[in-house]
Every structure is written in structure tokens, then in C-alpha cells.
């Protein structure tokens, strides 16, 4: 394959992907419009069906009327024959023949109407079934989309909440550490202050001869003499 053909093939593939992406992004609206179009088509088909059924009924009445006239004229023919008037009987028979020809012409028309009615009813039932299936599919798609959006929203909120909570915990830990360090410094300062206070007090007590004062040489000599 030449470079040019490869480029053309790649462009076609890209165009197809773009087209599919557009269709997918608008799939719900497209399906809703298709359902409306199908329902409009069904409504028109039902109008056509009623017209065909009306023509069927009309043709059926015409046929029944012709059959009645045929039966009526057959009776007239028998009466003419009973009276010996064959010429009149023949004339009536010719009229019967006209009726029968007309009946022969209308009978296929009636069958055609009946066939059309049956076919249209079957098509309408199939179309209505298809519309119902599409509506169910659309309902499932819409419900799934709503649930997925809700899940995404919840997950996003949870992720954001977890992130904020984590940041808050980190901040709280830093505050605790600062407080602990300050507490340690306060304790150290207090200890230092206490030590300094004790040293000053001891020095004052020694100067006043109170407490554990240092032994003097004369005291030691006197103690030894007494022994």
C-alpha cells in the first residue's frame, strides 16, 4: 500500500471515529427522535388501514347487494319460465349475467382489500412492538446514565472529602506537634528555674549556718580531743 493510500485510509478511519463519537454523544436524542418518527409512521399507517378497511366494507356491501340482486332475479327467471315466457326469462338471465360479471370483478378487489388489511395490521403490530422495545431500551439507558452520574458525583465528593480530611488531619498533627514542643520547652524552663531557685536557697542557708554547712577545722580538732 502506498503512503498516499495509507494516509487516505487513516483519514477515513479518523472521520468514522469522529462520526461515531458524535452519534454516541447524542445517542439518547437520536433514539428519542427515531421513536417519534416511528410513532408518526404508525399513526399514518393506521390512517391508511382505516381507509382500506372502509373500502373493504364498502366493497363487501356492494358484493352482498349484487348477490341479493342475483338471487332476486333468479326468482324472476323461474317465474317467467313457469309462465312459459322464455323470452322474458332470457332477458332476466342476461341481467343476471351482468350481475355475475360485476361480482367477478369485485371479488378480487375485496380479496385485495382483505389482504392489505391483514398485511397493514401485521406491520403495525411489528412497528408498535419495535417502538415499545426502543422505549424500554431508552428507559434503561436513561436510568443507567442517571445512576452513573450520581455515582460519579458521589465518588467525586468522597474523593474531595477524603482529600480535605487528609489535609485537615495533617494540619492537626502539625498543631499537636507544635503544642507538644512548646509544652516540652515550658517544662524545661520550669526545671531550670527550679534548679536555680534551689541553688540560691542553699547558698543563703550555708551563709546563715543552717542546714548541712561545711565542717570547720576547729570543730574537727575539738571532736577528736573529746574522743
Per-residue pLDDT of the chain (227 residues; tens, 9 = 90+): 455 555 455 555 555 555 555 556 677 788 888 889 999 999 999 999 999 999 999 999 999 999 999 999 999 999 999 999 999 999 999 999 999 999 999 999 999 999 999 999 999 999 999 999 888 888 888 888 788 888 877 777 666 655 566 666 777 778 888 888 888 888 887 777 766 665 666 666 666 666 555 555 666 666 666 76
The pTM of the full predicted model, rounded to 2 decimals, is 0.53
Distance CA 130, CA 133 (A): 5
Q: What is the 3-state secondary structure (H, E, C) of 7-30?
A: HHHHHHHHHHHHHHHHHHHCHHHH
Amino acid at each position: 500500500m502506498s503512503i498516499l493510500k495509507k494516509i487516505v485510509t487513516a483519514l477515513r478511519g479518523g472521520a468514522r471515529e469522529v462520526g461515531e463519537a458524535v452519534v454516541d454523544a447524542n445517542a439518547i436524542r437520536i433514539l428519542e427522535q427515531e421513536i417519534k418518527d416511528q410513532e408518526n409512521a404508525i399513526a399514518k399507517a393506521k390512517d391508511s388501514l382505516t381507509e382500506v378497511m372502509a373500502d373493504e366494507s364498502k366493497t363487501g356491501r356492494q358484493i352482498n347487494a349484487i348477490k341479493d340482486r342475483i338471487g332476486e332475479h333468479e326468482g324472476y327467471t323461474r317465474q317467467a319460465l313457469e309462465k312459459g315466457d322464455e323470452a322474458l326469462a332470457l332477458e332476466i338471465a342476461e341481467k343476471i349475467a351482468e350481475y355475475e360479471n360485476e361480482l367477478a370483478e369485485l371479488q378480487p378487489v375485496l380479496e385485495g382489500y382483505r389482504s392489505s388489511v391483514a398485511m397493514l395490521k401485521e406491520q403495525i403490530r411489528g412497528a408498535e412492538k419495535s417502538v415499545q422495545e426502543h422505549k424500554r431500551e431508552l428507559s434503561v439507558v436513561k436510568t443507567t446514565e442517571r445512576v452513573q452520574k450520581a455515582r460519579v458525583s458521589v465518588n467525586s465528593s468522597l474523593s474531595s472529602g477524603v482529600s480535605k480530611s487528609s489535609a485537615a488531619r495533617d494540619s492537626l498533627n502539625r498543631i499537636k506537634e507544635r503544642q507538644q514542643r512548646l509544652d516540652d520547652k515550658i517544662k524545661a524552663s520550669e526545671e531550670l528555674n527550679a534548679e536555680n531557685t534551689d541553688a540560691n536557697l542553699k547558698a543563703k542557708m550555708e551563709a546563715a549556718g543552717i542546714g548541712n554547712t561545711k565542717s570547720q577545722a576547729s570543730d574537727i580538732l575539738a571532736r577528736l580531743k573529746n574522743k
